[in-house]
A and B are shown apart, each in its own frame.
Chain A
Amino acid sequence: MIDRFILTGQWGIDNLRNFGKAGVLFFRVLFYWPNIRKGFPLLVQQVYAEGVLSLPIIVVSSLFIGMVLALQGYHTLAKFGASQELGPLVALSVVRELGPVVTAILFAGRACSAVAAEIGLMKATEQLSSMEMMAVDPVRKVISPRFWGGFFSMPLLVIIFNATAIYGAYLVGVKWLGVDAGIFWSNMQSSVEFRADIFNGILKSLVFGIAVTWIAVFQGYTAVPTSAGIASATTRAVVYGSLAVLGLDFVLTAMMIGEW
């Protein structure tokens, strides 16, 4: 019994210590920027590696999500004679919720896993240590560009996700199921507000971007430098990142609709 009590206490202390370490890393990433001349090319490289290379999965997923949403939505709305509301249904679902959430989860799986594994491997092969011994701060040179690369990529990916999903819904709703194109677009335009819907969706994506990339760089940076340790850090980056996105989404949604 007492052993279990000790183990629980140890588990709690270890977790608190990890939160502390993650906080310190976050602080250093936020306030210790690489200098512009050397840091900007690294940032562009990371936006390419994390953002541009994530485009195929984001575009394909969003297209199918938009198409399925239109298909399901049309048949349900048609039962109530409201199929002309398909445009608003799809647009609001996508820009408010599905866009930021699904993009962030896909991003965690595609880009953050790679970030955590890369940093973990750099640690295991003494690349980070050798960088430190060459008087180059790995946080500025390796961690910070990856964090900011993810931060800037996420809203751009969400905008692309939203546009593609709505286009997918247009293909199914208008081109296949025969909803009038004018009604589809004009109802969407009159129902979707820039501030309450689009802007809030982008705001969510910024928060998710911070959360998932922070988790990924921290897991990589603190990975146990063995093959099992890196595998476990990569898994944790994806699992914790996805769970953080879902949890934060609830909190942000509650705040945005004013119930908080």
Chain B
Amino acid sequence: MSESLVEISNMSFQHENGKTVFQDVDIVIPRGKITAIMGPSGTGKTTLLRLIGGQLTPSAGKIKVAGEIVHELSRTRLYQLRKSMGMLFQQGGLFTHMNVYQNVAFPLREHTQLSESMIHSIVLMKLQMVGLRGALHLMPNELSGGMARRIALARAIALDPALIMYDEPFTGQDPISMGVLVKLVKTLNKSLNLTSIIVSHDVSETMQIADYVYVIVDKKVVGHGTPDSIAHDSSSQLQQFIQGLPDGPVPFDYPALPLVNDFLQGAEKT
């Protein structure tokens, strides 16, 4: 068995509107580890997860998951592969017409022939893992943001996937929820022997639990290594991101015309 579960080589991606998001990116996600993909907002971290999940197709290069090139698979084969992946979406993506129990039971009902009593037991176990067994009968609109994300996590691990992808799991969480989530990600990875990919820009929380870190800035991987080596890297781009410095090579402003030109142009073209 190969040591890496996901291999991205020379991958470039361009949106339909022509905007290039990635240029010749190489990323390797090792099995059984927590790999963090970090970078400023708008660098395409979520897009990267969608590329790994086969929801988007790269313009060039290859993305291999478990030895298979994701974007060359037939729909049937891709869906087979996705059964071994779980993804925690930024907003949770819970089905609003189903309660918590039905949400977590959904993948089990779709992909297994298990009896209802067996499904019930599995759902309870998954909800117990995220500490929300008591919220069984609540509807998604009755949950707080943090709770919704934990329920979505329980649903993502319902089928015991080999790979789990977290899209900004810590954004907008209160300190307690954040602490719980950080611990949960670490515990789940260890106890279920998962391979985890965390996409985030919460530097301290992510560095705490990641085994390996990739930092993407301006379409490219600007650094990778263990959290310790990243923290002590001399690259100015990395240091600016890690320390949250306002000035440096990573621009804060969206690309624009010189300020004078914009003012002189007037309001006509806005």
Whether A130 contacts B82 by the Cβ 8 Å rule is no
Whether A127 contacts B55 by the Cβ 8 Å rule is no
Tell which of B87, B92, B94, B110 touches A133, judged by Cβ atoms closer than 8 Å. Answer: B87
Since A129-B50, A133-B82 are in contact, a sample of 4 more A-B pairs with Cβ atoms closer than 8 Å, ordered by chain A residue number, is A129-B93, A130-B87, A130-B93, A137-B75
How many residue pairs bridge A and B at CB < 8 Å?
A: 53
Whether A125 contacts B93 by the Cβ 8 Å rule is yes
CA distance A135 to B85 in the complex (A): 9
**Does any Cβ of B come within 8 Å of A180's Cβ?**
no
Q: Which of A134-170 contact B (CB under 8 A)?
A: 134-137
Bits for B34-76, please: 1 = Cβ < 8 Å to A, else 0.
0000000000000000100101000000000000000000010
Tell which of A121, A126, A131, A135 touches B90, judged by Cβ atoms closer than 8 Å. Answer: A126
Whether A135 contacts B111 by the Cβ 8 Å rule is yes
Tell which of B82, B89, B93, B152 touches A135, judged by Cβ atoms closer than 8 Å. Answer: B82
**Does any Cβ of B come within 8 Å of A132's Cβ?**
yes
Of all chain A residues, which has the CB nearest B111?
A135
Taking CB atoms, residues of chain A closer than 8 Å to B106 are 134, 136
CA distance A249 to B111 in the complex (A): 44
Taking CB atoms, residues of chain A closer than 8 Å to B87 are 130, 133
CA distance A125 to B97 in the complex (A): 13
Taking CB atoms, residues of chain A closer than 8 Å to B96 are 121-122, 125, 127
Whether A130 contacts B152 by the Cβ 8 Å rule is yes
CA distance A134 to B94 in the complex (A): 12
**Would you mind naming 6 contact pairs between A and B with Cβ atoms under 8 Å apart?**
A121-B96, A125-B96, A126-B91, A130-B93, A135-B82, A136-B107
Nearest-CB distance from A90 to chain B (Å)? 42
**Does any Cβ of A come within 8 Å of B83's Cβ?**
yes
Whether B107 contacts A127 by the Cβ 8 Å rule is no
Taking CB atoms, residues of chain A closer than 8 Å to B107 are 134-136
Taking CB atoms, residues of chain B closer than 8 Å to A135 are 79-80, 82-83, 107, 110-111
Of all chain B residues, which has the CB nearest A28?
B75
Of all chain B residues, which has the CB nearest A128?
B93
Of all chain B residues, which has the CB nearest A118?
B97
Nearest-CB distance from A41 to chain B (Å)? 11
Taking CB atoms, residues of chain B closer than 8 Å to A132 are 53, 55, 82
CA distance A127 to B89 in the complex (A): 9
Whether A136 contacts B110 by the Cβ 8 Å rule is yes
Nearest-CB distance from B222 to chain A (Å)? 28
Taking CB atoms, residues of chain B closer than 8 Å to A136 are 106-107, 110
Whether B110 contacts A126 by the Cβ 8 Å rule is no
Most chain B beta carbons < 10 A, residue from A121, A134, A136: A134
Taking CB atoms, residues of chain A closer than 8 Å to B94 are 127, 130
CA distance A122 to B50 in the complex (A): 17
Bits for A206-232, please: 1 = Cβ < 8 Å to B, else 0.
000000000000000000000000000
Whether B91 contacts A125 by the Cβ 8 Å rule is yes
CA distance A46 to B152 in the complex (A): 26
Taking CB atoms, residues of chain B closer than 8 Å to A137 are 75, 79
| For the complex of A and B, 10 pairs with smallest distance between CB atoms | A130-B93, A126-B93, A135-B82, A135-B79, A133-B87, A126-B89, A135-B83, A134-B107, A136-B110, A126-B91
Nearest-CB distance from A229 to chain B (Å)? 15
CA distance A1 to B31 in the complex (A): 58
Tell which of A38, A121, A127 touches B93, judged by Cβ atoms closer than 8 Å. Answer: A127
Whether B83 contacts A127 by the Cβ 8 Å rule is no
Taking CB atoms, residues of chain A closer than 8 Å to B111 are 135
CA distance A129 to B46 in the complex (A): 12
Taking CB atoms, residues of chain A closer than 8 Å to B86 are 133
